[in-house]
Structure 1
Amino acid sequence: MVTLEDCTRHSPYSDPGRHAALLGALPDDLASVCAASRNVIAHYRAELPDLPASRHFEVDSRWLEAILEVDQRRHGAGLDQPRAVGDRVAGCCRDHALFVVGALRQRAVPARSQVGFAHCLTPGFAHDHVVEFWARGRWRRANPELSPAPGAPFAASFAVPSAPFDVLDLPTGAGAPFETAAQAWRGWRDGEVDQLARLLVLADGGDGATGRRRWTWWGGTAGMRGCTRGSGCSRGPRSGVLPGWWIWWVGPGRSREVVS
């Protein structure tokens, strides 16, 4: 059984290694830590569409220590010192969540990543990672990529500029902006016929309204199944074990790697 104490200990992925002092130098409040993640990391598709081939390796950094190493070779400054978007480490939602999990565990705050589907991002894209952290007697969720208020530091250029909910304490339950993979799978299993359409990641030009869907990146029952299995890996004390944005799922008689 995983305990709260387990979730205060670093995994090999969340361990900042020789860059621990950089995380320790950040302000302790969650908003500042999330802002620092947006300052250090930019989404490789949404914010860095012209990323040169020489920098593609950044997306595969996977370990927090490796992400911070790339950042420090380029900047050599505190993690809250402003970086231009084009100079941030290329990553994705998984890396933002890992950054915040690492910073919270560095402060002995129980934290873990959670994979699922966000219903407040660009239409046609739902797959997302958030942070779960223990505070005031319960697990709470935060989405580091979303800005908590207009004008918040280092707002991601693709995110909702001012979300109609607290991005540092996400609502849960029916109609919540984030749905865990397990919740999505149960919904589909229980006959929610619109579930697949809501959880698709469409290729460029795909149209979720016409039914002509190209599941090039992520979608369908395979996507939910992969996310559900990934959720089991990401929520434990060794969260971050899934390598980069690769999710493994097993279909009938075969296995496959899918890019989310």
Structure 2
Amino acid sequence: MDQDRTNLSRFARPGRLTSAGPFAALLEAVPSDPAEIARTIQGLLIHEHIAGAYGVTLTEAERQTVHLRPADEILARIADGPDDPPLTVARIPEQRVAGNCRHYSLLLVTALRARGVAARARCGFGDYFIDGRYEDHWVAEYWHAEQLRWIMVDAQLDERQRELFGIDFDTTDVPRDRFLVAGEAWVRCRAGAADPDAFGLSVINEGGWWWIAGNLMRDAAALHAVELLPWDVWGAMPAPFEKLDDERMALFDELARLTREPDEHAEELRLLYADERLVVPATVRNELRDRDEPI
């Protein structure tokens, strides 16, 4: 794949949510290799829903960090630990900051962009957590200049989780048929090649077209450097279990077509994203907190 350098450059600089801010110096001590960056992040964060696998029970107060959007605010919480060790020193699980897949991906993108490496977060679904299900998930991808391709990294999956979920592939080069970006999931379901009800979050028994459409909008926003929370809602995003009308189905058809191959359709995607139904406003709805929040 040949990449336009101008298009790549926009992914190689920090965005409003992927700037390390005053913590940029801390990132300089982190190894530059993407796999090592991912390993470093795994020693700093703990997934709020998998904490028990590490012998940790999170308090409600500790869980609130999952609502942090900007990387610098996440790094501020990490740097606020005992003795303030460098980021390369893994915290014991009890001292790690609670997050989710989006937080792991965001920090990986932040660290790579701080080094001028083109990187971006992607929102979609992984088939490697529960058999027969495509679970709501985020990963990151970076441009490998020598191989001339985007390489997908699941920064969340450390050794404990690879064992827990029976991961049998390289998590620093995730196969494209194991993690589907939301646009690919949408297209497969529209073609009848996959069941939309298999795409969602099994722990709460939710899924369907409305969930894929929501991730489509989140993925498009991330491609425009706005990496929002998995429960942020705005614009044309459907409500839970809402049936989509023909107009919105057509809108998401087009969004899926463009986000499947965003580099080939960069200008088309930019124009579509400017649609008031899709573009991220100054304030979004945090569905878990049931309130509007600025970003």
* Superposition TM-score tier, normalisation by shorter sequence: 0.7 to 0.9
Distance 2:44 2:73 in 1: 12
- Distance in 1, matches of 2:125 and 2:134, equals 9
Is 2:140 aligned against 1:140? no
Please point out which of 171, 196, 216 is paired with 1:228.
216
Deviation at 1:158, TM superposition (A): 7.1
Q: Cα RMSD between the aligned structures?
A: 2.6
* Cα offset, 1:258, TM superposition: 5.4
Contact 1:132 1:140 in 2 (8 A): yes
Counterparts of 2:105 and 2:163, CA distance in 1: 15
1:245 corresponds, among 213, 226, 230, to 230
Output aligned runs, 1:81-100, within 5 Å: 81-100=89-108
Distance 1:161 1:31 in 2: 19
Residues 125 and 88 of structure 1: CA distance in aligned 2, closer, same or farther (over 3 Å): farther
Distance 1:158 1:186, change over 3 A: same
Query: 1:151 maps to which residue?
Result: none
> What's the CA shift for 1:55?
1.9
Alpha-carbon distance in structure 2 between the residues aligned to 1:90 and 1:69? 13
Secondary structure at the residue paired with 1:126? strand
Give 1:24's aligned residue: 28
Q: Is the 8 A contact 1:47 1:157 kept in 2?
A: no
User: Which runs of no fewer than 5 residues in structure 1 stay unpaired?
Assistant: 148-154, 205-213
Are 1:198 and 2:198 counterparts? yes
Q: Which runs of 5+ in 2 are unaligned?
A: 246-276, 278-284, 289-295
CA-CA distance at 1:57 after TM superposition: 2.3
Distance 2:40 2:13 in 1: 21
Distance 2:91 2:65 in 1: 16
| CA distance in structure 1 between the partners assigned to 2:174 and 2:61 by the alignment | 37
Matches within 5 A, 1:1-260: 3-47=7-51, 50-75=57-82, 76-123=84-131, 126-135=135-144, 136=146, 137-147=148-158, 155-157=159-161, 160=164, 163-172=167-176, 176-192=177-193, 194-203=194-203, 214-215=205-206, 219-236=207-224, 238-240=225-227, 242=228, 244-248=229-233, 249-250=237-238, 251=242
2:141 and 2:152 in contact (8 A); partners too: yes
Contact 1:41–1:90, Cα closer than 8 Å, also in 2: yes
Instruction: Count residues in correspondence.
Output: 233
Q: 1:120 to 1:47 in 2, by over 3 A?
A: same
Q: Secondary structure at the match of 2:172?
A: coil
Give the counterpart letter for 1:222 in structure 2.
Answer: W
Contact persistence 1:115–1:227 (CA under 8 A): yes
Q: Deviations over 1:193-216 (max 9, x none)?
A: x42243232246xxxxxxxxx42x
Structure 2 length-normalised TM: 0.72
Once the two structures are TM-superposed, the CA of residue 233 in structure 1 deviates from its matched residue by: 0.6
Secondary structure, aligned partner of 2:23: helix
Q: Which has the higher helix share?
A: 2
Contact 1:117–1:180 (CA<8 Å) still a contact in 2? yes
CA distance in 2, matches of 1:257, 1:67: 18
For the 8 Å contact 2:51–2:58, the answer to whether it is kept is: no
